[in-house]
A and B are shown apart, each in its own frame.
Chain A
Amino acid sequence: MGSFFHQHPRLTPYLLLLPGMAWLGFFFLIPLGYLGYQSLESGTYGNFEFTWEFSNFTNAFTDYREQLFRSFLYAGVATTVALLLSYPLVYWIAFRAGPWRNLFLLFIVAPFFVTYLVRTLAWLSILNDQGPVIGFLRDIHVLGADEGLLYSTFAVIAGITYNFFPFMALPLYVSLEQIDPRLLEAAKDLYASSTQAFLRVTLPLSAPGIVAGTLLTFIPAAGDFINAALLGTTQQTMIGNVIQAKFLTSLDYPTAASLSFILMAMILVALLVYARVVGTEKLTG
């Protein structure tokens, strides 16, 4: 079989792509096409008609601009915080953990094994106003006597950060893990301090991981709804909540669909800008 690839080098990428893209083509693109069809419909439930209703898009964008931008803001902050929090942990796992690394990688994803609702309810008990954590924070005057942390912008962003932590940490680990420690030794041999070694060797080599982690965190976080629903108030609704409500309660499928496309388009634009800023080779090699 090796000689087949040798004789048909041009075919290789297409053959590699075929199974995965066929899966996506059939089970993602076709549903997406249907969603596109829905986004150009008009009418009410039971009486939808395809009318090339492009006004769905313009109306949706005008009506829900606030939630769209808020979603990008929350996702952006959460991604940044996740990066800052996870980098040192992942660095430690890659370089200092030795045989324990797989255990610590498991600790990173373990929260996912207990399902979203269970872990969020646990956080709600830990951080509720009558609990020890808030009591402590009030005692040291970080919080006012009547203030709490829950049901606020802080809580929603903290929830997003916590729940997307593995999406940032694992790709970071992937690129840090492959760094040859001898490169760092060489840097030290050349009189670099540990800080310089980090900034000039480790950090640049981990750039693909940073990019990957940023994308895997930001993109799904922008469309998240559940953190805002459980941890926020009406002031924190994200576009995911709007789409959810349009779909489930208002039975307004065209608006839900067009909002979804608007979100996707905005994410793609952000992606292209990001690629330009960090250099496209970090995305494709």
Chain B
Amino acid sequence: MNPRLTRQELLRRGAAGGALLAFPSLLAACGGGDGGSESSGELKDVLNFENWPYYMDTKETRTAAGLTGPTTLEQFDQEKGIKVNYYEGIDSNDGYFAKIQGQLSQGQGIGRDIIVATDNSQFPSLYVSEEYVQKLDKSLIPNFANLIDAQQSPGFDPDRSYSLPWLTGIDGIGWNEELTGGPVTSMTQLFTDPKLKGKVTLLTEMADTLGLVLIDNGDDPTDVSDEAFDRAIKSVQDALDAGQILKFTGNDYGPPLARGDFAACVAWSGDLAQLVLENENLKWAVPEKGGIIWTDNMFIPLGGSVPTASTYMNFVYDPKIAAQIALGTGYISSVKGVKDEALKLDPKAGSNELVFPSDQTLANLHMNDPNMVSNADFITTWQSVKGQ
């Protein structure tokens, strides 16, 4: 092949390359699809609900919790005649967002009426600010009044126009007592105890890990200043440099912890309840200085049916239903009166502080600052700590 490009060839290739660059933007311009939002409108007889796995009561979990009768989804069908197609496709907030944001940005529906996102990530704010979600029809949600006070006005949705909490969990410290020799009660201990050197893991999610570190440093996790953030980062970086931290894990820390790959880690309340059945040396506790509480919220994406979704939300905000869901999943509900209902159904389970926390317990738990999780600089700094 002739190595020297003639002028004609150069022009031709340049034009081709330019066309290649221009073509996609033309595509983007003529996009818009035909799946436009059919927001208001009639009640449908099918609800498409996308959720995290293990986040709904099932026959097995109900039996284990001492509940009888059909699942809440089946009860909804019986009561309202609306069948729920329940999907457990949310593996992570960021992964799921990446998957659906393209269609939502073009105004296309994604085939779902309800999706769920965690408030300790940037995504609830993004869903609202980018207008990827629709407003609830509160006229169809009289049970809205049952929403607990603490959840009335989150940073990403101050009027609760777009979302309602689904379930809540707690970040704490999990450890393998056989390997640690005793309880692990603070992040400081995680970071400095020589017995734990190289046997500690942290969660990759910034809000989970840094939230606990902020509390440990005496800072307020609900309102994070730049200095407080830097202090928290420094604590983590120092521990990393000292070889104290083995690695950052996603949600899959359970089996390695139980197997003994590491001795202690940041962990959620729900997971450890299961793991203890496999290895009774596993323990979990909220750090003495305080823990972080996070909440998954229901949203109605573009293209979803607002009346149908709102009807479902109203259904699950009945304390009787909410109690069953909490008992059947092991996570905390945001519905008033849920503890009383739970005690009626199963006195023992109803007094589980981790699923039905008392006000005293709640006083030691804090939410993340929504500004922190959406702050691009904070995110970049956190990523570089993790080597990304």
Q: Please say whether the chains A and B touch (CB closer than 8 A).
A: yes
Q: Which residues of A contact B (CB under 8 A)?
A: 29-31, 33-34, 36-37, 44-46, 50, 67, 121, 124-125, 128-130, 148, 150-151, 229, 232-235, 237, 241-242, 244-251
Task: Say yes or no: A234 contacts B248, CB within 8 Å.
Answer: yes
- Nearest Cβ in chain A — how far from B207, in angstroms? 12
On chain B, the residues within 8 Å of A246 by CB distance are: 388
Task: Say yes or no: B387 contacts A128, CB within 8 Å.
Answer: no
- Nearest Cβ in chain B — how far from A117, in angstroms? 9
Q: A29-B20, A150-B261 are in contact. List 20 more A-B contacts (CB 8 A).
A: A31-B24, A34-B28, A36-B20, A37-B21, A46-B130, A124-B255, A128-B256, A128-B259, A129-B261, A234-B240, A234-B247, A234-B386, A234-B387, A245-B386, A246-B388, A248-B92, A248-B95, A248-B97, A249-B94, A250-B376
Let me know if B275 is at the binding interface, CB within 8 A: no
On chain A, the residues within 8 Å of B5 by CB distance are: none
Partner of B24, one of A37, A45, A46, A249: A37
Q: Complex: how many Å from CA A33 to CA B363?
A: 53
Q: How big is the B interface, by class?
A: 20 to 34
User: Which of B25, B28, B247 has its CB near the most chain A CB atoms (within 10 A)?
Assistant: B247
Q: Complex: how many Å from CA A193 to CA B129?
A: 75
On chain A, the residues within 8 Å of B274 by CB distance are: none
B25 nearest CB neighbor, chain A only: A37
On chain A, the residues within 8 Å of B94 by CB distance are: 248-249
Q: Complex: how many Å from CA A45 to CA B92?
A: 19
Partner of B21, one of A36, A44, A45: A36
Q: Complex: how many Å from CA A44 to CA B21?
A: 21
Task: Say yes or no: A249 contacts B379, CB within 8 Å.
Answer: yes
Partner of B388, one of A33, A37, A124, A245: A245
Let me know if B30 is at the binding interface, CB within 8 A: no
Q: Assess A34 versus B27: contact at CB under 8 Å? Given A124-B256, A234-B240, A249-B383.
A: yes
Let me know if B277 is at the binding interface, CB within 8 A: no
On chain A, the residues within 8 Å of B129 by CB distance are: 46
Q: Assess A233 versus B379: contact at CB under 8 Å? Given A36-B21, A130-B259, A151-B261.
A: no
Let me know if B87 is at the binding interface, CB within 8 A: no
- Nearest Cβ in chain A — how far from B71, in angstroms? 28
Let me know if B54 is at the binding interface, CB within 8 A: no
On chain B, the residues within 8 Å of A247 by CB distance are: 98
Let me know if B86 is at the binding interface, CB within 8 A: no
Q: Assess A242 versus B261: contact at CB under 8 Å? Given A29-B20, A30-B23, A233-B247.
A: no
Interface string of B85-113 (1 = CB under 8 A from A): 00000001011011000000000000000
Let me know if B126 is at the binding interface, CB within 8 A: yes
A67 nearest CB neighbor, chain B only: B387
Let me know if B14 is at the binding interface, CB within 8 A: no
Q: Give the secondary structure class of B's interface.
A: helix
On chain A, the residues within 8 Å of B376 by CB distance are: 44, 250
Task: Say yes or no: B247 contacts A45, CB within 8 Å.
Answer: no
Task: Say yes or no: A125 contacts B259, CB within 8 Å.
Answer: yes
Give the number of A-B contacts (CB < 8 Å): 83
Interface string of B243-259 (1 = CB under 8 A from A): 00011101000011001
Task: Say yes or no: A245 contacts B383, CB within 8 Å.
Answer: yes
Task: Say yes or no: B23 contacts A233, CB within 8 Å.
Answer: no
Let me know if B32 is at the binding interface, CB within 8 A: no
Q: Give the secondary structure class of A's interface.
A: helix
Let me know if B8 is at the binding interface, CB within 8 A: no
- 29 of the cross-chain contacts (CB-CB < 8 Å) are A30-B23, A33-B24, A36-B20, A36-B21, A37-B21, A44-B376, A46-B130, A50-B25, A67-B387, A121-B255, A124-B261, A128-B256, A128-B259, A129-B261, A148-B261, A229-B250, A232-B247, A233-B246, A234-B240, A234-B386, A234-B387, A241-B388, A245-B386, A246-B388, A248-B97, A249-B379, A249-B383, A249-B388, A251-B122
A241 nearest CB neighbor, chain B only: B388
Q: Assess A250 versus B130: contact at CB under 8 Å? Given A130-B259, A232-B247.
A: no
On chain B, the residues within 8 Å of A67 by CB distance are: 387
Q: Complex: how many Å from CA A7 to CA B386?
A: 63
Q: Complex: how many Å from CA A31 to CA B248?
A: 32
Q: Complex: how many Å from CA A29 to CA B122?
A: 32
Q: Complex: how many Å from CA A30 to CA B26?
A: 11
Q: Complex: how many Å from CA A233 to CA B243?
A: 11
Task: Say yes or no: A30 contacts B246, CB within 8 Å.
Answer: no
A231 nearest CB neighbor, chain B only: B247
Q: Complex: how many Å from CA A50 to CA B28?
A: 13
On chain B, the residues within 8 Å of A249 by CB distance are: 94, 379, 383, 388
A45 nearest CB neighbor, chain B only: B126
Task: Say yes or no: B20 contacts A128, CB within 8 Å.
Answer: no
On chain B, the residues within 8 Å of A233 by CB distance are: 246-248
Task: Say yes or no: B386 contacts A129, CB within 8 Å.
Answer: no
On chain B, the residues within 8 Å of A242 by CB distance are: 388
Q: Complex: how many Å from CA A237 to CA B384?
A: 11
Task: Say yes or no: A237 contacts B386, CB within 8 Å.
Answer: yes
A44 nearest CB neighbor, chain B only: B376
On chain A, the residues within 8 Å of B387 by CB distance are: 67, 234-235, 237, 241
Interface string of B225-257 (1 = CB under 8 A from A): 000000000000000100000111010000110
On chain A, the residues within 8 Å of B24 by CB distance are: 30-31, 33-34, 37
B24 nearest CB neighbor, chain A only: A34
Let me know if B380 is at the binding interface, CB within 8 A: yes
Q: Complex: how many Å from CA A10 to CA B358?
A: 82
On chain B, the residues within 8 Å of A235 by CB distance are: 387
On chain B, the residues within 8 Å of A128 by CB distance are: 256, 259-261
B96 nearest CB neighbor, chain A only: A248
Task: Say yes or no: B383 contacts A151, CB within 8 Å.
Answer: no
Q: Complex: how many Å from CA A233 to CA B24?
A: 38
On chain A, the residues within 8 Å of B23 by CB distance are: 30, 33
B92 nearest CB neighbor, chain A only: A248
On chain B, the residues within 8 Å of A129 by CB distance are: 260-261
- Nearest Cβ in chain B — how far from A109, in angstroms? 26
On chain A, the residues within 8 Å of B97 by CB distance are: 248
Q: Complex: how many Å from CA A29 to CA B386?
A: 33
On chain B, the residues within 8 Å of A31 by CB distance are: 24
Which residues B349-388 have CB closer than 8 A to chain A?
A: 376, 379-380, 383, 385-388
